Structure 1
Amino acid sequence: MHLKDVLSMRARPAAGIFMALTRRCPLSCEHCSTNSLISSEEYPEEMFYRFVKTFTPENKPDVILLTGGEPLLRPKLVIDITEWAHSIGTTVCLISGMFFANQKEIPPLIIEALSGVDQFTASLDYYHEKQVPRAAVFRALHQLLNQGKDVSLQIVGLNEHDPYLADVTKDVLDNFGNRVPMFVSKVGDIGRARNWLNKQQLNSNIDINPEPCAMSAWPVVSFDGTIVACCNQDVINGPAPSHLRLGHAAVDDWEKVRERLVNSNFLRAIRVFGPEYLTKQYGSEDQACDGYCSTCYKLSDNPIISERIEPLMKRSTIDFVEEKVLLFQQKRQYGIPNYVHLVDVGYESGKEEIQ
């Protein structure tokens, strides 16, 4: 599976699910959004596997994206989830910080885990390179490519002018040609980066227009099993506001979680209009917008918004609007504008080879 295929599905509600299998990570990158350490919390494997086993051939996500922390600290769980997913027709993707690349050879159990996943993404940036050298990451990616694995890179920089981004993307193209697509974005103001990142001053935008949210389209199973409707790390860390909480992996099944995500009028409205527009149009006069995600986090604080959204989402035209927003979002280009074309690397040639 190509990176572009995964991103094109991102806006379709319940098309995929994120699963953070652990918060532990052997690396301690200074920009880590999850504040992960090797001593971070980790919950029983059985809980995650139990939830995945509720997926059926008739009712399942198309894609499971395994993340963490570092999911490859639990290779047996990755193997078990992948085997069940494939048995019911679900694709498995995995993203790793590449801790294992510091060894000359990829450990056998990790090789076994990676051999099953359909798409593998490696994190590579200035902060990761302090702990896992670029040459080591490239060596491991060459090994995986030689075994026929679809691989991609997730790269972050400070901004579109960050010289690191120009250097590393050129290096990837020089070393791999059209074999490794790249998703390039900015370091987030979250986790450990929040302590040092220069924050841009928020603009007070009086004219707030609808801005659909794709981040509320896929459920996220967090480290402790809580299932939320948003991949923002503050929501995952919890406690999640009530309108973004979908259930828990220890007690709920996929059918219930999917129904809550897809049919909640609150979440449908967020996906169509965005939180700032909803607050401005349907909130109380004293409710201010202080950033896109921050505004969403506080939507549950004022029940009047929920009351006013219900009749809005029952209008006969809303289904049509949702369909058009989804089509728009599926064509959306993610990441830093100067680098969005790197998502397409190898895409056409790959399609030609399949045909």
Structure 2
Amino acid sequence: MKRLKYTEVESIRSTPGRSLLLFITDRCPVGCEHCSVDSRPNSATIRDSELFESIVEGICYDEKLSMVGISGGEPFVERKGLTLAVNRLVSAGKDIVLYTSGVWARSIIPQWIRDVLALVNCVFLSTDAFHNKTVNDDQFVLAARTLAEEGVWIIVQVLNIPEMVARAEELLCRAFGKDYRELAEINLVPPLPYGRGKEIFNLGTNREGDEFGPCKSLAAPVVRYDGTISACCNEQVIMGLGPNRLRKRCSSGSDLKKALKDISEDPLFNVMNELGVGTLTYHPKFSELAHQQFPSICKLCWAIQQDALPLGDRSDRLLTSISMIRRNTVNE
């Protein structure tokens, strides 16, 4: 099984059509105060197994798709769904990137967990002071060592807060020694003010609309276990908030194919992904947003979506032309 490192994962994620994220459950027993999707031990999870299986099959048949991320919630609390998804996707030739807190790391690791890990190409293993209240240092070390035993490349995901980064390095040294970089790397992530995190973190400094660049998240949509497809990985959008234009619903694998096609071919999304969200403020329809203040690229995107034509509508000839010119240039 080949190992995918962070730069490789990001390169694939930023290429339209090459990857997506399968969000298999809202449920998570860790209860982090900063959780951006407000996952809880009793949150919703897979209820319609037939629909979920059809969704997975639809992903399998997408020939252009080479990599699938699997997250939640905590994926390992959804044993049946996780096992089914990983086995079928790997059989279809897809690389698997798994996101977990390592809460499953106990004195004895169940064989089914090892079987799943043996099939994935890398694991994003999260750790910080918030996780530590439920997933202690010993569990993190055991989780890391278990991943290494199964030949999985480890990407330790930690909040970009100096003391938390230093602690993550200490734990990796404890697990593998000073040469831990032969088995793992650290990825710093910004604190997200969504879900429970909105009580702890701020969005940041406002910027004018025309200052925002491309949104690479639009290259990799999110498919939720209940048939909701989100155009990007914004946690609020995944949980049903924000403009409806950012979401589609499907009731089968064939519906999924059409929904993903509508998202990937949408002129507005293509311009935002490749030229920039701020670039759209030069379009007459969105010009009033150019010098308005926004705390994040997501807030600007939401403002644009409110006044945009329906998803897939190509009647805005200016926008469609810009999208086609840029897409043809990229493909040459």
TM-score, normalised to structure 2, is 0.85
The residue identity in structure 2 corresponding to 1:215 is S
Residues 127-149 of structure 1: CA distance to partner in whole angstroms, max 9, x if unpaired? Answer: 11121112221122112212322
My pick for the range that moved more, 295-304 or 67-76, is 295-304
Residues 1:113 and 2:116 aligned together: yes
The residue identity in structure 1 corresponding to 2:263 is L
Aligned residues: 318
RMSD over equivalenced CA pairs, Å: 2.7
Aligned identity (percent) is 24
The verdict on how the C-alpha distance between 1:148 and 1:282 changes in structure 2, with shifts beyond 3 A counting, is same
Alignment of 1:165-180 (within 5 A): 165-173=165-173, 175-176=175-176, 177-178=180-181, 179-180=183-184
The verdict on how the C-alpha distance between 1:135 and 1:240 changes in structure 2, with shifts beyond 3 A counting, is same
SS at match of 1:182: strand
My pick for the range that moved more, 165-174 or 144-153, is 165-174
The residue identity in structure 2 corresponding to 1:113 is V
Alignment of 1:74-89 (within 5 A): 74-89=78-93
Aligned equivalent of 1:338: none
The verdict on how the C-alpha distance between 1:81 and 1:223 changes in structure 2, with shifts beyond 3 A counting, is closer
Aligned equivalent of 1:272: 274
Aligned equivalent of 2:307: 302
Aligned equivalent of 2:320: 313
The answer to whether the 8 A contact 1:280-1:289 is kept is no
The verdict on how the C-alpha distance between 1:323 and 1:246 changes in structure 2, with shifts beyond 3 A counting, is farther
CA distance in 2 between partners of 1:210 and 1:310 (Å): 23
**Displacement after TM superposition at 1:280 (Å):** 4.9
Structure 2: gaps of 5 or more residues: none
The verdict on how the C-alpha distance between 1:56 and 1:136 changes in structure 2, with shifts beyond 3 A counting, is closer
CA distance in 2 between partners of 1:18 and 1:110 (Å): 20
Of 65, 69, 72, the residue aligned with 1:61 is 65
Alignment of 1:229-240 (within 5 A): 229-240=231-242
Alignment of 1:208-227 (within 5 A): 208-209=210-211, 211-227=213-229
The verdict on how the C-alpha distance between 1:321 and 1:234 changes in structure 2, with shifts beyond 3 A counting, is farther
CA distance in 2 between partners of 1:147 and 1:190 (Å): 34
**Displacement after TM superposition at 1:82 (Å):** 1.8
The residue identity in structure 2 corresponding to 1:97 is S
SS at match of 1:181: strand
Residues 170-202 of structure 1: CA distance to partner in whole angstroms, max 9, x if unpaired? Answer: 542564322112211121111111012245342
TM-score, normalised to structure 1, is 0.80
Alignment of 1:20-169 (within 5 A): 20-44=23-47, 45-56=49-60, 59-101=63-105, 103-158=106-161, 162-169=162-169
My pick for the range that moved more, 306-315 or 147-156, is 306-315
